[in-house]
A and B are shown apart, each in its own frame.
Chain A
Amino acid sequence: AQRVTQPEKLLSVFKGAPVELKCNYSYSGSPELFWYVQYSRQRLQLLLRHISRESIKGFTADLNKGETSFHLKKPFAQEEDSAMYYCALGVAGNQFYFGTGTSLTVIP
């Protein structure tokens, strides 16, 4: 069965420190992975997806099929990065499976 696991519900880092938000997935087919972010009082918005291989707001994520992971990384956290982050798996038919989310707090 398809599943997305985000093991950390809460994560706090100091400004300027590296940050990594973990995401593991379970899917027998070819996965499409996404990271969505929700800032305070705003809607869910796409941060990045693995096929575009972009760096958005300094964040990157690499799909590791061997470890079935899609961890989100940023070398130097900023205060404006404080938000809720959701990893999502897109499967055939465009059904998305979301993790439970990680709340990131960047301490000034």
Chain B
Amino acid sequence: GAGVSQTPSNKVTEKGKYVELRCDPISGHTALYWYRQSLGQGPEFLIYFQGTGAADDSGLPNDRFFAVRPEGSVSTLKIQRTERGDSAVYLCASSRTSGGVGYADTQYFGPGTRLTVL
């Protein structure tokens, strides 16, 4: 089937606005991850879902960031009151399982959404 998809591919917004970024994982993958990649850096973990629940949101930088996955498939990352420092590529990944003790499952990445806050 299709890989992980993300929409939009590019989003330009003004400082202070609200944005939503969407991720559609690989069918049947139970785990979903959001990362942020700033210029010259590797992907930085934000949040991970196992099914519908956020299993680990320790990477969210502050309470302006929020993500949901209401039906255990598509996920939306929501950013309120955007700031220029939020400009980055937001990556979504999914994996078949969430791994276990001593085992990390392979994550498959989407193409990313490039967010630019003016």
Contact = CB atoms under 8 A, between A and B. Distances in A.
Interface of A: 4, 9, 29-30, 32, 34, 36, 43-46, 49, 86, 88, 90-101
B110 A97 contact: no
Interface in B90-106: 91, 95, 98-106
Contact of B42 (A29, A43, A46, A101): A101
Nearest to A92: B101
A9 B42 CA distance: 11
Give the size range of B's interface with the partner: 20 to 34
A48 B115 CA distance: 29
B66 interface: no
B23 to A, nearest CB: 13
Interface of B: 3-4, 31, 33, 35, 40-45, 48, 55-56, 91, 95, 98-112
A94 B105 contact: yes
Given A44-B91, A93-B56, A95-B48, A100 B99 contact: no
Chain B interface, DSSP helix/strand/loop, else mixed: loop
Nearest to A98: B42
Nearest to A44: B109
B18 to A, nearest CB: 26
12 contacts: A29-B102, A32-B99, A34-B106, A44-B91, A45-B109, A49-B106, A86-B43, A92-B100, A92-B101, A96-B104, A98-B44, A100-B40
Nearest to B37: A98
Contacts of A101: 41-42
Given A93-B98, A94-B95, A98-B44, 10 more contacts: A46-B106, A94-B99, A94-B105, A94-B107, A95-B48, A96-B33, A96-B45, A96-B107, A100-B40, A101-B41
A93 B99 contact: yes
A85 to B, nearest CB: 10
